[in-house]
Amino acid sequence: MGQESAGTRGPWSGDRVRSIVYAGLDSIVTSFSLISSISGGRLSSGDVVVLGLANLVADGIAMGFGDFVSSSTERDMVRKARAVLQQGLRRHIRPQLTDLLHAYQALGMATADATTVVSVLAKYEGILVDEKMSVERGMLPPRQMEVPWKSGLITFLSFVGFGSAPLLAFGLLLPFAVPPPPASSPPPPLSVAATLFNGALASASAYTIGSLLSNLLRLE
């Protein structure tokens, strides 16, 4: 019923793209800002490379682990919600079927068709539970969710990969700035300009702070 099976999950699913875009965009701005602040402190190129790589790996590990923990927590929450829903179906199946029927009607399905669908689903408890999770609560079954360690690994690799090319920051920001749905999002040029302004503002702030601290502390 509109759900993709575990076997047909593509490599560019929504969760994976979200992790790549989030970590990639954050790493580009973070890496560029770090380089700007270090340069403002008049440190050597070697210092810039060493501190930049160390910060990149450390932040990547932190973000990857955070994604792993949040994904694990979300998956556990969905499993508990599914177990509670399954118990409710076994105890009071008629009200649960009625709720699903009303949900289909709210989506625009004809009453006769909705009744037929619900009657068929009532024969298969597992599919019925998954369908109620999706239609009524907007939750995918746990088996269709991204594996937590994969989410963490994707976030880490994306952060390190994009952040390791700070000189290409503005070029790499362009794909992330253009949103796919044109009807509800700002025009691409405006979105690109906003993203570039965000990176430029962060970098300028970091450079200014580094330069001021260097002058105040009289660093060589």
- pLDDT per position as a tens digit, 191-208: 666 666 776 677 677 777
* Cα(173)–Cα(139) distance, integer angstroms: 31
Average pLDDT, the chain: 76
In a domain, 2, yes or no: no
Q: What's the whole-number mean pLDDT along residues 89-118?
A: 88
Position 96 pLDDT exceeds 80: yes
In a domain, 6, yes or no: no
In a domain, 44, yes or no: yes
Q: What's the whole-number mean pLDDT along residues 34-56?
A: 71
Label residue 159 exposed, middle or buried (CB < 10 Å: 0-12, 13-18, 19+).
buried
In a domain, 197, yes or no: yes
pLDDT-derived band at 83, boundaries 50, 70, 90: confident
Report pLDDT digits (tens) over 143-162. Answer: 777 788 888 899 999 988 88
Position 177 pLDDT exceeds 60: no
Could you list the residue range(s) of the whole structural domain that residue 149 is in?
14-176+186-217
Higher pLDDT, 202 or 1: 202
Q: Give Cα 152 to chain centroid, integer Å.
A: 11
* Cα(207)–Cα(36) distance, integer angstroms: 5
Q: What's the whole-number mean pLDDT along residues 116-140?
A: 86
pLDDT-derived band at 45, boundaries 50, 70, 90: low
Q: Position 134: which residue type?
A: S
- How many domains in the chain? 1
pLDDT-derived band at 65, boundaries 50, 70, 90: very high
In a domain, 196, yes or no: yes
pLDDT of residue 162: 85
In a domain, 132, yes or no: yes
pLDDT of residue 174: 46
Helices (H), the chain: 14-40, 45-91, 93-106, 111-121, 125-137, 148-163, 169-177, 188-217
Position 86 pLDDT exceeds 50: yes
pLDDT of residue 125: 86
